[in-house]
Structure 1
Amino acid sequence: MRRRRVWPAWARPSDIADLLRLSGPIAVSRAAMMLMGLTDVIVLGQNAPGELPFVLNSWLPIGVSLGLTMGLLMGVSVLTAELAGVGDGHNSGRIFRRGIKFSLWFGAILTAVILLIASPMFRLFGFEEHVAEGTASVTRILAIGLIGHMLTHVAGSYLEALRRPLIVTAIMYTGVLINLVIDLAVVAGWWGMPKLGADGVAIATTGTRWGLVIFFLLAVWKLTPAFKPSEAGPEGEAKHQFSVGYGTAVSNVAEWGGFNSTFIIATLISTAVNTIYGMAIHVIGFCFMAFLGLGTATSVRVAEAYGRKNSDQVREASRLGVVATVLIGVLLGALVWMFQEPLASILIKSDAEVGGVAIHAALVPIIGFTSVVIVFDGLQNVASMAMRAQNVIWPPTFIHLGSYFILMLPLAWYFGMVRGGGAMGMMQAVLIASVFAGLMQTLMLEMKAARRLKPTRRPVI
């Protein structure tokens, strides 16, 4: 009888179906988070486009804080998936409760710090007075919702690790509707409400996030063992739960801090450049939600295999994530390229001007350019998440630091300001950093995948 190897995971229908079954709902739920941001940009762009820089700049302290905490909370997903992978998911409640306690006390500290530093920080950057004060006002409102962001992240990650992503999706899209209603009320001025511009966007975001906390905690209480007694974990589990995310926390600070710092550079060039560049970044960000879904699903599958100590499954789950990322990235990039003008029209009125610059005409080619960035931005995310799911922590972190701080920020300054490239010059810097990060993370994943496990023999038939 002729013998042949089984199909590798990236070509095996059962593995592909499992990845899509898990990543699809996660991607859709993650898209909901970005859809809230896009809703804010669209409503504000149609009503007060000159205030968009206030919102974009405010995400430097808020985004860095969220990136830091989401990294430190990564262990909620990883350890829960490991327990579920060995049939011990009923004891995962202790993992969830640690994440909640951390969110409350650490979130309170971050909130207090942001409220104190918001005004002096943006004046220190050298912004015009009205830009500095407008940005500080938005930042303070968003800071009030910081703990809410952290609590919903813990609950959502826990539900997804227990393979209940559809619950997360349903709750997140409830949030999209709540956010839209508040935006229309206090940004667009519907139903006789005052038009509060950028402050209204911040009110919508903060109000929505606290509303979602209630829905998430109810779902976790009803559908999971989160609040049920669980056996004591092994010695050092609590420390391990947070150490898993150390590298991710640093990476998030590098990536989110790097990207949000580019908004500061764009504002120093002009408010028009900030508006154009910020809208284009939101297009990339919306597509990035698909890769967050793929990355989360890949990390869950890798963590399950890692918990079973199966080196072949770890390696193939990692490779499947990379292959799926490339294919979906090319598809998304092609769609963005084809619909660059309609996308620009959705984001802003065709006759809108900021600082005497016609925004729509300048935005169209930059949206087209983002189609090249999308694939590599997805690669760096999925590959780094697959490495961390098998406790390879620091190599992806160093790549992120090199890409987004050492490479992207100086290039954004040089191409955008020194050479006068404006928003297009800054997007060229983003492309270079994303290509470097994507290729290096993928190469590192291939070098590191399952190297810490004793290889198992692949079955043959």
Structure 2
Amino acid sequence: MSDRREAIVEGSIPRTLVGLALPLVAQNVVRVAQQVIDTFWLGRLGETAVAAVGLTIPVLGVCFALLVTPFVGTQILVSQRVGADDDAGAHRMVVHGFVLALLVGALVGGAVFLGAGPVVRLVGAGPDVAPLAALYLAVVALGLPLAGASDAVEAGFVGRGDSRASLWINVATVAVNVVLDPFLIFGWWVFPRLGVRGAALATVGGYAAGLCLALALALGPRMNLARRHLTLTAADFRDLLSVGAPITGRQVVSQSVRVLLVGVVALAGGAAGLAAYTIGARVASVAVLPSRGLGQAAQSMVGQNVGADRPDRARRTTRVGVAVAAGALAVLGAVQWLVPVPVARVFVPSLAGDGLALTVQYLTILAYGYPAIGVVDALLAGFNGASRTRTSFVADLLKYWTVRLPVAALALPATASVSLLGVTVAPGLDLGMPAVFWAVTGSNVVAAVGVGAYYAYAVRGGLFVDAAADVATAADESEAAAEPTD
């Protein structure tokens, strides 16, 4: 670990940043592959099974948003303490994140398990889909404590600069899930045929495997977690909640607007519009993987440099992260802009007619905003690494609720107001799907300009200098609180 810390606080920033980011990008690719393979096996059961599991995606998205608090809090605080050469404090923070994740996962999972039926009906499940959706959701909900605890330990590795351990944990999770899928779904070998329940159990089995590997790596020489690190303090839990909770709020904000946008698209564009919007969202989710990985890596590097009282390197890391992330997404955007039809048909080979025309239009417009996504990811990583996670929450709140949703609503018919999940949306201007497409890209560009301006202001005001001082104070207080009293 001393070698990694030296590279992060002393070595080449571009080389270290990219080296730390590559395993994180790879693990995101692994997760995307898992979704594709799950859909492949479920598709053999029929479209009802696929629809049932697909219906649970937004619900599980909200559940995992609640588990982001211990994940992000652990990553940031561990990185800061490692940077401050407080290895014992970093170990204790991993333990605190693990415990908090177990508690939050148990509370959320228990609530979802008990209310699975009403929840799936609330999100629109019909009588043919609701029983299977509720069954899948209830079983997966029981695995949320395992998933959350695994993620917290994984976050500890990323915070320490060991992103390869995070990759292996994700590979184990996905591999076990993928291998178990056909055995439990179709009853291969000695296993009973469980259908959708089997798919859910395979997912929970993957969570369990990931947690087992995470604990094995943490207790081994890779982290050397030991009994002496099991001291729990209220101060450390408060720090975790203070740093992590705003990111949970950020996730809830973005997820809620995405659900509302699907309703706007359905009303304004019909089946062809929904197809274009869905394909565009899937393409974008793959295209931004490099930016997300770079952002997570930059977050750990900024945290360690802040902890090491190197605010200058924290600032340079953020600047390099902006250049690399924006450049990578600009290249991907250019490819997408040049060949939108082949990109669309990678996802839906049979796409034609209005669906193809709208998809091509959306992919072209989306490409303009890709560099802005990279800029925002890197800048917010800088704020997060300095424990200013509330900035991320406010940025997404403004981006989604004051720009994206109001502009997208202009696509609605001008005849009357409509209600989307209980939210009344005023009459639109009947601008059609282009309004939705430009709302997405425009909100990304506006966010990049706004966050960039605020970042420049915050740096002049001592963003990283103040953060370094706060980390030093917090480390002293944590060490004193953890010492046994006579």
Q: State the TM-score, normalizing by the size of structure 2.
A: 0.77
Distance in 2 separating the partners of 1:56 and 1:275: 15
1:387 to 355, 360, 383: 383
Alignment of 1:233-252 (within 5 A): 236-252=235-251
Residue 26 (structure 1) aligns with: 24
Offset at residue 81 of structure 1 (A): 1.1
Give the corresponding residue for 1:85: 83
Q: Distance in 1 between matches of 2:122 and 2:233?
A: 48
How far off is 1:243 after superposition?
0.8
1:23-422 maps to which residues of 2 (within 5 A)? Answer: 23-41=21-39, 54-124=52-122, 128-130=126-128, 135-182=133-180, 196=195, 202=200, 204-222=202-220, 223-230=222-229, 236-263=235-262, 274=274, 276-338=276-338, 340-350=340-350, 363=359, 365-415=361-411
1:268 deviates by 7.0
Matching residue's letter, 1:142 = V
Q: Which residue matches 1:429? A: 439
* Structure 1 residue 401, shift from structure 2 partner: 1.0
Q: How far apart are the structure 1 equivalents of 2:194 and 2:261?
A: 28
Q: Secondary structure at the match of 1:73?
A: helix
Amino acid at match of 1:101: V
**C-alpha contact (below 8 Å) 2:265/2:433 kept by paired residues:** yes
Equivalent residue of 1:236, what SS? helix
CA distance in 1, matches of 2:126, 2:432: 19
Backbone CA RMSD of aligned residues: 3.8
Q: Which amino acid aligns with 1:429?
A: A
1:67, 1:249 within 8 Å by CA — same for their partners in 2? yes
Conservation of the 8 A alpha-carbon contact between 2:99 and 2:149: no
Q: Which moved more, 1:256-265 or 1:70-79?
A: 256-265
Q: Give the 3 Å change call, closer, same or farther, for CA 47–227 of structure 1 in structure 2.
A: same
Q: 3-state SS of the aligned residue for 2:309?
A: coil
How many pairs does the alignment contain? 440
* Aligned with 1:444 (options 429, 454, 465): 454
Unaligned 5+ residue runs, structure 1?
A: 1-11, 457-461
Q: What amino acid is aligned across from residue 290 of structure 2 in structure 1?
A: A
1:453 matched residue in structure 2: 465
8 Å contact 1:42–1:348 — kept in the other structure? no
CA distance in 1, matches of 2:260, 2:62: 10
By how many angstroms is 1:427 displaced? 3.8
What's the TM-score, normalizing by structure 1?
0.80
- Paired AA for residue 390 in structure 2: W
Q: Distance in 2 between matches of 1:455 and 1:194?
A: 55
Deviations 1:129-166, CA, capped at 9 Å, x for gaps: 44555544443343233223212211211111222211
Are the counterparts in 2 of residues 179 and 208 from structure 1 also a CA contact under 8 Å? yes
Unaligned runs of 5+ in 2: 1-9, 414-427, 469-486
Matched residues, percent identical? 20
Deviation at 1:76, TM superposition (A): 0.9
Partner AA of 1:59 in structure 2: I
The structure with higher relative contact order (CA 8 Å, sep 6+) is: 1
Instruction: Write the distance in 2 (CA, Å) between the matches of 1:231 and 1:176.
Output: 29
Letter in 1 for 2:395: I
Distance in 1, matches of 2:455 and 2:373, equals 15
Deviations, residues 391-444 of structure 1 (Å, cap 9, x unaligned): 223233112112123433344444267677777654433223222223322322
The more displaced of 340-349 and 378-387 is 340-349
Alpha-carbon offset, residue 189 of structure 1 = 9.9
Compute the displacement of 1:229 (Å).
1.5
